[in-house]
A and B are shown apart, each in its own frame.
Chain A
Amino acid sequence: MEAPNDSGINQEKWTTTYLFVLGFLLIQILAYAWISSYFS
Chain B
Amino acid sequence: MNSTDWIVLLSTLGFIVGYGTWRTFRQHDLNSYLRGGQDANWATVGLSVMATQASAITFLSTPGQAFESGMGFLQFYFGLPLALVILSVTFIPMFYKLNVYTAYEYLEERFDLNTRLLTAFLFLVQRGLAAGITIYAPAIVLSTVLGWDLNTMNILIGALVIIYTVSGGTKAVSITQKWQMAVIMGGMFYAFYMLIDHLSPHVDFLQALHVAGVHGKMEVVNFEIDVNQRYTIWSGLTGGLFLALSYFGTDQSQVQRYISGSNIRQSRMGLMFNAILKIPMQFFILLTGVLVFVFYQYMERPIHFNEQVVETVMQSDLKEEGSDMIAKFNVLQSEKQALMESDLEANRAELQSIEKQQVALNEEFGELALQVEPDAETKDADYVFIRWILDNLPHGAIGLLLAVILSAAMSSTAGELNALATTTMNDFIRRLRKDRSEQKGDVFRSKMITVLWGVLAISFALSARLVDNLIELVNILGSLFYGTILGIFICAFYIKRVDHRSVLLAAVVAEASVLTLFFTSDIGFLWFNAIGCAIVVIFAHTMSFVRRSA
Could you say which residues of chain B place their CB within 8 Å of the CB of A14? 88-89, 268
Q: Mark B484-514, 1 if CB is under 8 A from A, else 0.
A: 0000000011111000000000000000000
Does the CB pair A6–B89 fall under 8 Å? yes
A22 vs B210: C-alpha distance when bound (angstroms): 30
Tell me which of A9, A17, A38 contacts B272 (CB under 8 A): A17
Does the CB pair A1–B110 fall under 8 Å? yes
Tell me which of A1, A9, A22, A40 contacts B85 (CB under 8 A): A22
**B276 touches A (CB below 8 Å):** yes
Does the CB pair A32–B220 fall under 8 Å? yes
Does the CB pair B221–A33 fall under 8 Å? yes
B137 CB to nearest chain A CB (Å) = 28
Asked, given contacts A21-B272, A29-B233, A36-B220, whether A4 binds B93 with beta carbons under 8 Å apart, the answer is: yes
Interface size, B (range): 35 or more
A33 CB to nearest chain B CB (Å) = 5
Tell me which of B85, B88, B219, B495 contacts A3 (CB under 8 A): B495
Using a CB-CB cutoff of 8 Å, which residues 95-116 of chain B contact chain A?
96-97, 109-110
**A2 touches B (CB below 8 Å):** yes
Could you say which residues of chain A place their CB within 8 Å of the CB of B216? 40
Does the CB pair B85–A18 fall under 8 Å? yes
Does the CB pair B494–A21 fall under 8 Å? no
B498 CB to nearest chain A CB (Å) = 9
Asked, given contacts A35-B218, A36-B221, A39-B218, whether A3 binds B493 with beta carbons under 8 Å apart, the answer is: yes
A38 vs B97: C-alpha distance when bound (angstroms): 49
Tell me which of B97, B110, B493 contacts A7 (CB under 8 A): B97
Which residue of the partner chain A has the closest CB to B92? A7
Could you say which residues of chain B place their CB within 8 Å of the CB of A9? 264-265
A4 vs B110: C-alpha distance when bound (angstroms): 10
Using a CB-CB cutoff of 8 Å, which residues 3-35 of chain A contact chain B?
3-4, 6-7, 9-10, 14, 17-18, 21-22, 24-25, 28-29, 32-33, 35
Asked, given contacts A6-B93, A25-B78, whether A33 binds B219 with beta carbons under 8 Å apart, the answer is: no
Asked, given contacts A4-B94, A4-B493, A6-B89, whether A32 binds B276 with beta carbons under 8 Å apart, the answer is: no
A28 vs B216: C-alpha distance when bound (angstroms): 20
B443 CB to nearest chain A CB (Å) = 30
**B275 touches A (CB below 8 Å):** yes
A36 vs B361: C-alpha distance when bound (angstroms): 28
**B60 touches A (CB below 8 Å):** no
B203 CB to nearest chain A CB (Å) = 13
Does the CB pair A18–B209 fall under 8 Å? no
Does the CB pair B219–A29 fall under 8 Å? no
Tell me which of B82, B84, B219, B264 contacts A40 (CB under 8 A): B219
A33 vs B233: C-alpha distance when bound (angstroms): 10
Does the CB pair B279–A25 fall under 8 Å? yes
Tell me which of A21, A22, A32 contacts B221 (CB under 8 A): A32
Which residue of the partner chain B has the closest CB to A7? B93
A14 vs B280: C-alpha distance when bound (angstroms): 22
Does the CB pair A21–B275 fall under 8 Å? yes
A31 CB to nearest chain B CB (Å) = 9
A30 CB to nearest chain B CB (Å) = 9
Tell me which of A1, A3, A29 contacts B494 (CB under 8 A): A3
A6 CB to nearest chain B CB (Å) = 5
Q: Mark B165-191, 1 if CB is under 8 A from A, else 0.
A: 000000000000000000000000000
Could you say which residues of chain B place their CB within 8 Å of the CB of A4? 90, 93-94, 97, 493
B539 CB to nearest chain A CB (Å) = 18
A9 vs B85: C-alpha distance when bound (angstroms): 16
Could you say which residues of chain A place their CB within 8 Å of the CB of B90? 4, 6
Could you say which residues of chain A place their CB within 8 Å of the CB of B279? 25, 28
**B81 touches A (CB below 8 Å):** yes
A2 vs B56: C-alpha distance when bound (angstroms): 41
Task: Contacts A21-B85, A29-B78 known; list 19 others, CB within 8 Å.
Answer: A1-B110, A3-B493, A3-B494, A4-B493, A6-B89, A6-B90, A7-B93, A9-B265, A10-B265, A21-B272, A21-B275, A22-B85, A25-B279, A28-B280, A29-B221, A32-B71, A32-B220, A32-B283, A39-B209
Jot down 26 A-B pairs with beta carbons below 8 A, ordered by A: A1-B109, A1-B110, A3-B496, A4-B97, A6-B90, A6-B93, A7-B93, A9-B265, A21-B84, A21-B276, A24-B276, A25-B81, A28-B279, A28-B280, A29-B78, A29-B221, A32-B221, A32-B283, A35-B218, A36-B221, A38-B213, A39-B209, A40-B213, A40-B216, A40-B218, A40-B219
3 smallest CB-CB distances across A and B, nearest first, come from A39-B213, A39-B218, A7-B93
